[in-house]
Chain A
Amino acid sequence: MNKEIIRNDRVNEQYTRVRHESGCTVCLCPMKGFSSAYALFGAKYGSVDGVFKTKSDAVFTAVPAGIAHYLEHKLFENEDCDAFKLYAETGAQANAYTSFDKTAYLFSCSQKFDRNLEILLKFVQEPYFTDATVQKERGIIAQEIKMYDDEPGWRVFFNGLEAVYHENPVRVNIAGTVESISKIDKDLLYRCYNTFYNLNNMVLSVAGNFDPDEALEICGRLLKPSPDLGLETVIPEEPPGVREKTVREKLPCGVPLFQVAFKMPNGYSFVGENYTHYNILLETAFGKSSKFYLDAYESGLINETFNVSVFNGRGFFLCVADGEAREPEKVFDALKNEIKRLKKEGLPEEDFNSVKKKTYGELVGSLASVEAVASGMMNAEFSGIENADMFSDIEAAANVAFSDITSKLAGFDEENSCVSIVEN
């Protein structure tokens, strides 16, 4: 068992990272004075992992859209009992989520931590699917898909991804479609489970009120050693340009919603510091104290829902501006023109300094949340970035220089972009 302390003197915080003999990476951050503990047991497996092979397979397998999410739903049910019933006996709150590039099972508890951790580790490692239980879940997931189909905020986001990407699987809805999930059966679920829920591909991350020695004792008892399968996933080659410049959908909503996406080169998601640097660039150029925001807000072009962010993960990286606007195309043009202007006239260094502090402040503030700490530790492990840890973003924000941001701006291709609109 390889155990190391990950420490950051700037914020005076630390946690332990264990490379467990089972293959699993275990991150533990006890937080003094907190009443609750939060645990995440995650697999590096999301909706983008639809094409894969292991070293024992001759060829790649392609599976229907939505299978990672379906698997997440089904894993709660074991042969003799479902996990929610077991958690009910401890009072813990349990849940799970599937994103584009990971799946995580979680609980939050203020009592009986040991028992809750046992439940988590056991049920995730003991799949049990039958034709009947798989069929039963189809109706529930179909309702989940339909619920999101009625959400303009969700639709504008996915329509935007479909417009940006030609091939990247991030353009496909995480839950799939009512049609694609109809092709999922128990054999396919087992196939995906046995491929991706291998402990070499998983992380356990715990933060808050718990005893790390007891947690490691439970891990030693319950984490079943896994052979390395030599897993390979394929994210298809993505052409550099966007697929469509403008996409629209009509749905009942208030002010029209928009999402503008600037496409970045494919390799970006794996390069450290890019996330923080682009966030700071976007905030400096379009954040709440920028010239762009204030002019656009005061002229009524945008409202207070306007937001900029970096959307990235394994194999995808976008700079995004979204919100509500009565004339979304005008916002799209204004954003592109502002980037052109800033390239010519330069970014205001004073604004950069403020945004740097703001970014740093937000990241430090998040360390007081057991959920954010557990997620931060897990995300660092799944980032694929060498030497990444929970404090990497904080260090990137504290150390960023103005020149780092201006060089990002110089290489920004504002025309490689699209707008998605949802309106009444």
Chain B
Amino acid sequence: MDILNRAEIAPGVFLSRITDARFKQNRVSFCFLTRLGEETASVNAVVPKILTNSCRDYPDLRALNARLSALYAARLTASVANMGDDQCVMVEISVIDDRYALEGEAVLNEGINILLGCVFDPLTDENGFFKESVTEIEKQACIDQIEAELNEKRVYALNRAAEILCAGEPGAVRASGTVGGVRAVTPQTAFSAYKRLLETARTEIFCGGGNAFSGVGETLAAAFKGVRRGEIGECGSKYSPLKPEPVVRTEKMDVNQSKMVVGFKTASTDLDALTVMTKIYGGSAASKLFENVREKMSLCYYCMAKLQPLKGTVTAECGVETENMEKARAEIINQLDLIKNGDFTDGELAHARLSLQNDLKTVNDKLSGISLWYFVRIYQRDAVTPEQMAERYLAVTRERIIEAANSLSLDAVYILTEKDGGNE
């Protein structure tokens, strides 16, 4: 495997290439990174959708989709994601590797051409802005997506908890924007946001797959020649400060099962120790939360913990009967206290390390896994391989874990629960 051949091809634009003949597909992603803000998140969320609706070469969705379909299920996708205090605006194409084309077509080159057409040569109206009809359709798609967040109550609860934990910080803004914010988008504001992203956002381009991607660097560099890259916007995340007093927020809804997210914060920068600690706490089926809250107390079907390294938070979440909520909350806090007091066995520590090693070794087996791994590593300015990271976790001692646990303080609890009177 040829890993992470990374180069700056234009000011603030970095190209990374990962070649591995095992993969039968290739994927090229543009990730524009920009600071999250209530003013900009919604319009930025609409931009990639407009870009993947059509472009000058394929001037409507019909023409574009027909071409993609003929390219063996080429997938052109638009997405936005929260990345700590930043918004990641992504446009990506994935195609079958040329080796498997039934008629010997150059699928990758054609795929890259489509992607470049979408990113650099979008369809505009006579005034030079995005077309109004396309903007309106894609605004609606964004609104539907925001409203659909309610459909998965577990994800909804985690998102709400993140907003409460990071209230007042860029990281509290949802990358998908708000319904009101999206409604206010116009073809003009969307086009300005597009130009701003293209000209000033730090940009990470990832090429991954079975292909060697030779010549792709030159093609992409040439595409950026036509762009006036200005001052590159700052990006990077800060830990979320602890609230003076923990807050509890309860939301009522017509639900059968309550959801609870208990959020802790740390000021420790020992992320390796925090990672191992979170694994012991609630990161696997051998963890304390699974063992006790689920298996011993039979309170939940799921109860697990996750570290958000960019914001320095750890969340423990569960779905639980309303009448058992207090019992579950007490036990979630108790299990963390046990780790703080060093009440975990060498076996639990060994299991956590093994589980992390296993997770890390499987990263390389999926194209999406490798791309995401290096994207996050580069963002965190800690570009190590999964193997190197596994070594670091092995070096985490019991003392560092206890210290990491003791660095955590309760910051907020979010509860989604049934309306008064209960539900049947």
User: Which residues from chain A sit less than 8 Å from chain B, CB to CB?
Assistant: 11, 31-36, 82, 84-85, 87-94, 108-111, 136-141, 143-144, 146-147, 149-153, 208, 250-255, 257, 287-289, 291, 293-294, 297-298, 300, 303-305, 324, 351, 353-355, 357-362, 364-365, 367-370, 398
- Say which residue of A35, A36, A91, A305 sits within 8 Å of B351 (CB atoms): A91
B22 at the interface (CB under 8 A from A): yes
Name the CB-closest residue of B to A35.
Answer: B361
A331 nearest CB across to chain B (Å): 14
The stretch among B30-38, B248-256, B333-341 that forms the contact with chain A is B248-256
Q: B255 near A150 (CB under 8 angstroms)?
A: yes
Contacts of B290 in A (CB 8 A): 84
Query: Chain B 258-296, CB within 8 Å of chain A: the 1/0 string?
Result: 000000000000000000000000001110001000110
Contacts of B153 in A (CB 8 A): 147, 150-151
Name the CB-closest residue of B to A107.
Answer: B358
B330 at the interface (CB under 8 A from A): no
- Say which residue of B65, B146, B152 sits within 8 Å of A289 (CB atoms): B65
| A140–B295 alpha-carbon span in the complex (Å) | 8
Q: A297 near B61 (CB under 8 angstroms)?
A: yes
| A351–B62 alpha-carbon span in the complex (Å) | 11
B308 at the interface (CB under 8 A from A): no
Q: B300 near A304 (CB under 8 angstroms)?
A: no
Contacts of B358 in A (CB 8 A): 90-93, 108-111
Q: Contacts A146-B256, A303-B140; is A252 near B150 (CB within 8 Å)?
A: yes
Contacts of B25 in A (CB 8 A): 365, 368
B196 at the interface (CB under 8 A from A): no
Contacts of A293 in B (CB 8 A): 65
B91 nearest CB across to chain A (Å): 15
Q: A297 near B137 (CB under 8 angstroms)?
A: yes
B279 nearest CB across to chain A (Å): 11
B320 at the interface (CB under 8 A from A): yes
Q: A111 near B357 (CB under 8 angstroms)?
A: yes
Name the CB-closest residue of B to A209.
Answer: B365
Known: A253-B148, A291-B62, A362-B73. 8 other contacts (CB 8 A): A35-B364, A93-B355, A137-B298, A141-B301, A300-B137, A354-B66, A358-B69, A365-B24
Q: B365 near A143 (CB under 8 angstroms)?
A: no
Contacts of A146 in B (CB 8 A): 256-257, 319, 321
Q: A143 near B351 (CB under 8 angstroms)?
A: no
Interface members, chain B 82-107 (any A CB < 8 Å): 96, 100, 102
Q: B286 near A84 (CB under 8 angstroms)?
A: yes
B354 at the interface (CB under 8 A from A): yes
Q: A294 near B61 (CB under 8 angstroms)?
A: yes
Q: A368 near B319 (CB under 8 angstroms)?
A: no
| A375–B170 alpha-carbon span in the complex (Å) | 42
Q: Contacts A35-B364, A91-B351, A92-B358; is A149 near B256 (CB within 8 Å)?
A: yes
Contacts of B20 in A (CB 8 A): 33
Q: A305 near B73 (CB under 8 angstroms)?
A: no
Q: Contacts A88-B354, A365-B24; is A354 near B70 (CB within 8 Å)?
A: yes
Contacts of A94 in B (CB 8 A): 285
A221 nearest CB across to chain B (Å): 24
Q: A90 near B100 (CB under 8 angstroms)?
A: no
Q: A32 near B140 (CB under 8 angstroms)?
A: no
B151 at the interface (CB under 8 A from A): yes
Interface members, chain B 346-371 (any A CB < 8 Å): 347, 350-351, 353-359, 361-362, 364-367
- Say which residue of A90, A141, A252 sits within 8 Å of B354 (CB atoms): A90
Q: B355 near A34 (CB under 8 angstroms)?
A: no
Name the CB-closest residue of B to A89.
Answer: B351
B81 at the interface (CB under 8 A from A): no
User: Which residues from chain B sit less than 8 Å from chain A, CB to CB?
Assistant: 20-25, 60-62, 65-66, 68-74, 96, 100, 102, 133, 137, 140-141, 144, 146-154, 253-257, 284-286, 290, 294-295, 298-302, 319-321, 347, 350-351, 353-359, 361-362, 364-367
Q: A365 near B301 (CB under 8 angstroms)?
A: no
Q: B365 near A34 (CB under 8 angstroms)?
A: yes
Q: Contacts A91-B354, A150-B256; is A354 near B301 (CB within 8 Å)?
A: no
| A293–B24 alpha-carbon span in the complex (Å) | 29
Contacts of A151 in B (CB 8 A): 151-153
Q: A85 near B286 (CB under 8 angstroms)?
A: yes
- Say which residue of A92, A208, A289, A303 sits within 8 Å of B141 (CB atoms): A303
Q: B69 near A144 (CB under 8 angstroms)?
A: no
Name the CB-closest residue of A to B105.
Answer: A357
- Say which residue of B62, B151, B350, B355 sits within 8 Å of A153 (CB atoms): B151
Name the CB-closest residue of A to B150.
Answer: A254
Q: A355 near B69 (CB under 8 angstroms)?
A: yes
B283 nearest CB across to chain A (Å): 11
Q: A324 near B144 (CB under 8 angstroms)?
A: yes
Q: B253 near A252 (CB under 8 angstroms)?
A: yes
| A88–B351 alpha-carbon span in the complex (Å) | 5
Q: A361 near B100 (CB under 8 angstroms)?
A: yes
A272 nearest CB across to chain B (Å): 22
Q: B355 near A88 (CB under 8 angstroms)?
A: yes
Name the CB-closest residue of A to B103.
Answer: A357
Q: A255 near B72 (CB under 8 angstroms)?
A: no
| A308–B61 alpha-carbon span in the complex (Å) | 18
> What are 7 A-B pairs at a CB distance below 8 A?
A82-B295, A88-B285, A88-B351, A110-B357, A149-B257, A150-B153, A151-B153
Name the CB-closest residue of A to B20.
Answer: A33
Name the CB-closest residue of A to B66.
Answer: A289
Name the CB-closest residue of B to A76.
Answer: B285
Q: A255 near B148 (CB under 8 angstroms)?
A: yes
Q: B285 near A253 (CB under 8 angstroms)?
A: no
Q: B70 near A357 (CB under 8 angstroms)?
A: yes
| A251–B24 alpha-carbon span in the complex (Å) | 41
